[in-house]
Amino acid sequence: MGERLDLLDPYEVAQLGGIELTAGGIVEGFLAGLHRSPFRGFSVEFTEHRPYQPGDELRYLDWRVYARADRLAIKQFEAETNLRAMLVLDASASMAWSGALRRLTKLQYGQRLAAALGLVLLRQRDATGLIAFAEDVQAMVPARVRSLQRWALLKALTALEPGRSTAAADALRRVTDLLQRRGLVIFISDLLFDQDLALRALQFLRHRGHQVLVFHLMDPAELELEGPPEVRFEDPESGQTVVVRPREFRTAYREAVRRSVTAWRGACRRSGISYLHVRTDTPFGHVLRRAAERRARLG
């Protein structure tokens, strides 16, 4: 794998292996491309050890552990865990869709994006957890920073299957129970649900002092109405169908999509929520960099 995985087409990356393998490669490529270290400073209050990772400062190695157990261990300090982050991933039926055979579904893209974001946060020693939802909560991993946390996150993400309807507001309310201290909430979804309910839940998280970052995933085929002269469309969550002639509705459809994206972006901005619109053919490294820049502005 000579090329940086974070800059490859997402579908090509997925062909190289499972989430466990490719997420690590995406993160390594992304971190290698940064001009400054992604690691935070250490405080003076020691809490526990963690395995050595490439890039750690050697002065924090515990040589006594190495002499006793023949393994490299880093002293972990309290300041490394001052941020608690929760990844919230939409796994509803609408996310299990792709507009082309050689393109990831929105859920497959979201799983890999969540995995990469989780690994970056853990590399920064931020306690990180996961909630995945459809009609109810499908998976939940409490936010921790232990050495095995990356495997807990990757296992939960790999095991996800698309559900039916969407209960975004309920899932977001669960986050408030899991994040008692102020933290970072990363919401990954195609946002195909009641905007008012979900937005109120996101606004409540902001009111509680959490930083909120929304990734609005869209397949490129959702941006333009293409296809043969007559097409039958089916709602994957309700099962309702409609037959349309794409050429007749193309302009109106494009405008409706533009209005929807603009409405989400504006509503998030007014609420102090960071919003990123992401096509599922965008290399993961580009999205991670945008997220890092937005996160830096959030403070």
In a shared domain, residues 121 and 243: yes
| Mutual angle of helices 246-270 and 195-207, in 10-degree steps | 20
- What pTM was computed for the model? 0.81
* Tokens linked to 258: 């533009």
How far apart are alpha carbons 65 and 50 in whole angstroms? 11
| Structure-token match 């996800």, residue found | 160
Give the CATH number for residue 188: 3.40.50.410
For the chain, the first-to-last Cα distance in angstroms comes to 35
Residue 34's DSSP bridge partners are none
In a shared domain, residues 52 and 197: no
How far apart are alpha carbons 54 and 28 in whole angstroms? 10
Which one-letter DSSP state was computed for residue 281? T
How far apart are alpha carbons 51 and 61 in whole angstroms? 9
Amino acid letter for position 2: G
So what's the pLDDT on residue 224?
A: 80
Please list the ranges in the chain whose pLDDT falls under 70: 1-2, 35-50, 52, 55-60, 65-66, 74-82, 226-239, 243-248, 298-299
How far apart are alpha carbons 196 and 125 in whole angstroms? 34
User: What total of structural domains would you count in the chain?
Assistant: 2
So what's the pLDDT on residue 85?
A: 92
So what's the pLDDT on residue 202?
A: 92
In a shared domain, residues 103 and 62: no
Q: What are phi and psi of 237, to 5 degrees?
A: -100, -35
Which one-letter DSSP state was computed for residue 61? B
How far apart are alpha carbons 223 and 242 in whole angstroms? 18
How far apart are alpha carbons 22 and 291 in whole angstroms? 19
So what's the pLDDT on residue 35?
A: 45
So what's the pLDDT on residue 116?
A: 96
Number of H helices, E strands in the chain: 10, 10
* Residue 27 belongs to a domain: no
Amino acid letter for position 150: R
So what's the pLDDT on residue 284?
A: 97
In a shared domain, residues 75 and 116: no
In a shared domain, residues 127 and 223: yes
In a shared domain, residues 118 and 183: yes
So what's the pLDDT on residue 139?
A: 93
So what's the pLDDT on residue 246?
A: 63
In a shared domain, residues 75 and 87: no
Domain hosting 75: range is: 46-79
How far apart are alpha carbons 239 and 191 in whole angstroms? 18
* Residue 40 belongs to a domain: no
So what's the pLDDT on residue 231?
A: 63
Which one-letter DSSP state was computed for residue 211? E
pLDDT tens digits for range 213-250 = 999 999 999 998 766 656 666 666 666 787 666 666 77
How far apart are alpha carbons 89 and 252 in whole angstroms? 30
